[in-house]
Structures are given as C-alpha cells and as structure tokens.
Amino acid sequence: MHLFIGNKNYSSWSLRAWYLMSKFNIQFEETQLVLDTAHFYDELKKHFTVQKVPALIDDDLAVWDSLAICEYISDAYLSGAGWPKNIAHRAKARALSAEMHSGFMALRSEMPMNIRATRVLTLSDAAKKDIARIDEIFSQQQIIYPKEWLFGEFSIVDAMYAPIVLRLKTYQVNLSDQANRYSEHVMSCSVLQNWITQALTESDIVECDEAGTPA
C-alpha cells in the first residue's frame, strides 16, 4: 500500500491520513511530493485523476481525499475500528469529522498549517467564531473523556482534528483550560511527534501558506 503526501510542514490533509495509518500501525510506503511543483502533479497524474494529496494506492485501488482514505483503512484493515465502537458515539464522531471536512473555512484559509513557524495574526470575526466552535468541541469531549482522545480511544475524528491543534499552536491561540487539555494530549502523542520532527527538517517554502508575522 502506498500513500502520497505533501510537505509535512504544510499539508494538513496529508497529516490526517498519515496519522491514522501510522497510529494504527498499518504498513505502508510513503512518497512525499513537494506542493506547488511540476513534479507533484506529474507524479500524481501517473496514478490519479485528481492531483491532490493525500492519495492512496492499494493494489489496483486508488483512493483520494483524506476522509475517504481514513474510511477505507477502517473498513479494509481495522474491521471498522477506525471509528468509536458505540453506535451513538460513532454517529457523533462522524458528524464532527464531516463538520471539519466541510467547514471551518475562515480558520483554514487564515491560519494555514505551518508547523515550524510561530506567528501572530489578526483574525476575522469568522475565524474567531470557528475557533470558539473548536474550543467547544474539545471542551465538551474533555468533560466526558478527561486527558483522552475525543471519544476515549484514538479514532478517525482525532486524525481529522490534529492539524487544527497544530494550527492553533503556530498562531498561539488561547483556548479554554478544558480544550487546552485535549491539545496537550494530542501534542504528547509520539506518532504525531514523529510527523513534527520530520516537518522540522523541511526547508521548502510554500508562499501561500505563509501567513502572519513572526511572533
């Protein structure tokens, strides 16, 4: 199985799929392609009709899109264990994942993932509203699962929200104590730290993902 990803410093979507697969000890080869280069599109064109990362090849199956890859891994390799066991929790985790996948537009456009940077930003009201909602999600789940993953055990929804934790760190966003506890739990994960360590070795600059001014 082969996962194509972008720059570890910038590619928030790549992190989701890579994190899920790595955290569940799924064996895969990884090809990293530098975003915004001709090589990126040339390589992806060989296998995929859509040239975006993450993208997965498993034998003759091609799967693109981070959430679709996570779903596929859960179905094909984890007997569904990518999601919480309890049906109600599973439904809520899916709703939260869909909320992330299709929403938080202001936060995502104003605060690109940029792991190696520490920045200050003036945020729009829409981005502040997105942050308030993130805080609410993290806090509510921390009340139920203190110092744990969103639904106790690690699941796809944690992979979906991990890039947000990193964005909030880059732009030094203050969260409530409860929400902060979830962020600390995520940051203490050795698998995520492996990604961060590799991101810190990168030197390519993607201009459109460089936001804010140095703190």
Question: What is the binding site for ligand GSH (CB under 6 A)?
Answer: 6, 11-14, 35, 52-54, 65-67
66 versus 141: smaller Cβ distance to ligand GSH: 66
Q: How far is the CB of 103 from ligand GSH (least distance, A)?
A: 12
| Smallest separation, CB 47 to ligand GSH (Å) | 14
The conformation of residue 208, written as its DSSP 8-state character, comes to G
Q: Which is nearer to ligand GSH, 67 or 156 (CB)?
A: 67
Q: Six-digit token pair at 107? A: 């936060």
Q: Which CB atom, from 76 or from 178, has the smaller least distance to ligand GSH?
A: 76
Looking at residue 27, its amino acid is Q
Determine the 3-state secondary structure of 33 from DSSP: coil
Cβ at position 53, least distance to ligand GSH in Å: 4
CB 25 to ligand GSH: min, Å: 22
Q: Is the peptide bond before 84 cis (omega within 30 degrees of 0)?
A: no
Residue-by-residue DSSP string for 75-104: HHHSTTTTS-SSHHHHHHHHHHHHHHHH--
Q: What are the structure tokens assigned to 116, written together?
A: 């190696």
> Which CB, 53 or 199, lies closer to ligand GSH?
53
Minimum distance, C-beta of residue 142 to ligand GSH, in the bound complex (Å): 26
Please identify which residue in the block is written with the tokens 């929200």: 161
Collapse the DSSP code of 132 into the 3-class scheme (helix H, G, I; strand E, B; otherwise coil) and give the result.
helix
Residue 66 vs 142, nearer CB to ligand GSH:
66
